[in-house]
């Protein structure tokens, strides 16, 4: 059993080198016991800290999530912090998306966070304390073409996070929304292995623009993943975790854009990511 002051942290989406991976390292460096989870154990190789335990968890499977959470509670007696980081881009055109693709985008980027949170919340309510951190995205603030399913799923996650924050406050549970901008993570690499435009797609002429959108976070100005994780963990372990924080490349620009007319901002997105010479 951990001592009374040693926090137990559960993190989802912890593939090597990604945001979740670095969050685990940062929490462990600060004395927390960390449970790093992913669908495949072999995807989480390379952790350096002895306080990190790896477990297989499919965030899209109710029974598996419940079993993992109960196993952690049995071993540690509590879960102090949950970080819902698992997610994936959904590159492609909305007009050609299948309902299965729509469901998958929301299952992983939205429903999974609520599924994991709801599995842990009863134990937090009993202790009248706890912190839930949902990793959203600036894509949930400003919609971009070619990844609109992801944008929609993250927008929904933002609303769910805000709702949880208000509804869990009476039980002493805090909820924190983190909206990353550009951070050097695995998210575009993971999508690149599965993205393929159909040969008969009406958007064949825009395939390069889709690939550009997919690789946007790989920009040279994107925030190093370890620095992003350090700042998030520092706030999470503070006496008063903020309900919202946004950092990374373009985060400030997106924050300011919310004060501009919506159609003007969407027009900028169109010109940057869709428009080509000769198009309408």
- Catalytic sites, residue numbers: 150
Return the beta strands (E) in 146-270 as ranges.
173-178, 244-245
Long-range contacts (CB closer than 8 Å, 24 or more residues apart) made by 200-207: 201/93, 201/96, 202/95, 202/96, 203/93, 203/95, 203/96, 205/276, 206/93, 206/146, 206/274, 206/276
CA distance 182 to 103: 25
Task: Quote the CA–CA distance of 82 and 137 in Å, as a whole number.
Answer: 17
Q: What are phi and psi of 92, to 5 degrees?
A: 150, 175
Token pair, residue 17, equals 């080198």
Identify the DSSP state of 92: S
Q: Which residue reads 């620095």 in tokens?
A: 227
Instruction: Tell me how far apart the alpha carbons of residues 106 and 158 are, in angstroms, rounded to a whole number.
Output: 13
Burial of 83: CB neighbours in 10 Å, binned 0-12, 13-18, 19+: buried
Cα–Cα dist 44/31, whole Å: 20
């Amino acid at each position: 059993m951990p001592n009374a002051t040693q926090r137990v942290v559960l993190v989802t989406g912890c593939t090597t080198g990604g945001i979740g991976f670095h969050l685990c390292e940062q929490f462990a460096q600060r004395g927390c016991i960390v449970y790093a989870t992913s669908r495949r154990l072999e995807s989480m190789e390379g952790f350096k800290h002895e306080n990190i335990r790896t477990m297989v968890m499919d965030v899209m499977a109710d029974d598996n999530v419940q079993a993992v959470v109960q196993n952690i509670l049995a071993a540690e007696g509590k879960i102090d912090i949950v970080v819902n980081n698992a997610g994936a881009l959904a590159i492609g055109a909305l007009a050609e998306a299948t309902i299965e693709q729509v469901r998958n985008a929301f299952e992983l980027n939205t429903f999974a966070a609520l599924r994991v949170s709801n599995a842990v919340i009863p134990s937090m309510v009993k202790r009248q304390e706890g912190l839930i951190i949902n990793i959203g995205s600036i894509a949930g603030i400003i919609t971009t073409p070619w990844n609109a399913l992801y944008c929609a799923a993250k927008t929904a996650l933002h609303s769910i996070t805000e709702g949880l924050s208000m509804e869990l406050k009476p039980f002493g549970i805090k909820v924190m929304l983190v909206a990353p901008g550009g951070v050097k993570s695995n998210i575009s690499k993971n999508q690149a292995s599965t993205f393929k435009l159909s040969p008969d797609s009406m958007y064949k002429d825009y395939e390069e623009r889709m690939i550009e959108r997919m690789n946007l976070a790989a920009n040279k100005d994107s925030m190093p993943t370890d620095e992003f994780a350090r700042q998030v963990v520092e706030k999470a372990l503070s006496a008063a975790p903020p309900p919202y924080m946004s950092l990374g490349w373009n985060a400030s620009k997106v924050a300011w854009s919310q004060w501009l007319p919506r159609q003007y901002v969407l027009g900028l997105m169109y010109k940057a990511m869709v428009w080509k010479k000769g198009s309408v």
